[in-house]
């Protein structure tokens, strides 16, 4: 499973090698200033520097890439998480309201009175010197799904997923507004750096989430 996950991650990252590249924005400065940017921004930069107006920037290709990237990286996995966790919650509710095995056995069994021989064979025999009389009633066993809910793995996974959604949702919502409402997108562009800072902040918070769960 781990090898499959790394393989799929490598395949999904292959388009980035073609789309993204480095560009020395100020080559005349000592040491220059190299920036990583997408190929459409690089084309616009070269066109602006050379006063070119007849360059095809392929805006349709950029829009297709941006929308596909948003769906594959954030919105698609988010929808899958919501659906899967909803299914898990429904299953847990079904198990919580379902009668136990012993209760169902008692309800489904017939109420025929046993014969004397069956009664003697079913009646347990106790020794007068047994020391089990001091013991209290047996404690009910905790269902397996409750043990899983209390496990550290489940809590850690839930915390990491919630943190990922909360810190990545503002930026992805802002990027989606470019193709949904241009006016909102321009208004949110004034605070776009805050959304990008949240992406960096989550990388600092994740180690504390793992440590807190331990």
Per-residue model confidence as pLDDT tens digits over 135-157: 555 555 555 555 555 566 677 77
Q: Domain residue spans in the chain?
A: 20-57, 63-97+143-214
Say if CB 178 and CB 189 are below 8 A apart.
no
Average pLDDT over residues 21-28: 86
- Does the pLDDT at position 100 exceed 80? no
Q: Are 155 and 213 in contact (CB under 8 A)?
A: yes
Which pLDDT score, from 0 to 100, does residue 126 have? Answer: 46
**Cβ(148)–Cβ(92) below 8 Å:** no
The span from the CA of 17 to the CA of 10, in Å, is 11
Identify which of 93, 98, 102 has the alpha carbon closest to the alpha carbon of residue 141: 102
Could you tell me the fold of the domain covering 63-97+143-214? Rhopdopsin 7-helix transmembrane proteins (1.20.1070)
User: 29: alpha, beta or left, given left = phi > 0 and alpha = psi -120 to 50?
Assistant: beta
pLDDT over 80 at 87, yes or no:
yes
Residue pLDDT, tens place only, 188-201:
887 778 888 888 88
State both tokens at 208: 């504390």
């Amino acid at each position: 499973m781990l090898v499959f996950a790394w393989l799929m991650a490598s395949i999904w990252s292959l388009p980035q090698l073609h789309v993204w590249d480095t560009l020395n924005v100020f080559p005349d400065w000592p040491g220059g200033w190299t920036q990583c940017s997408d190929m459409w921004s690089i084309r616009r930069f070269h066109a602006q520097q050379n006063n070119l107006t007849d360059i095809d920037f392929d805006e349709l290709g950029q829009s297709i890439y941006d929308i596909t990237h948003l769906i594959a990286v954030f919105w698609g996995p988010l929808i899958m998480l919501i659906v899967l966790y909803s299914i898990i919650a429904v299953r847990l509710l079904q198990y919580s309201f379902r009668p136990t095995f012993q209760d169902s056995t008692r309800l489904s069994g017939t109420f025929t009175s046993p014969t004397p021989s069956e009664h003697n064979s079913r009646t347990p025999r106790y020794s007068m010197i047994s020391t089990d009389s001091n013991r209290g009633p047996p404690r009910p066993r905790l269902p397996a799904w409750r043990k899983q809910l209390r496990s550290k793995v489940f809590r850690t996974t839930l915390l990491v997923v919630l943190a990922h959604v909360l810190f990545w949702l503002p930026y992805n919502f802002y990027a989606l507004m470019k193709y949904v409402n241009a006016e909102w997108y321009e208004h949110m562009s004034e605070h776009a750096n805050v959304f990008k800072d949240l992406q960096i902040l989550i990388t600092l918070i994740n180690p504390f989430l793992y440590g807190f769960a331990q």
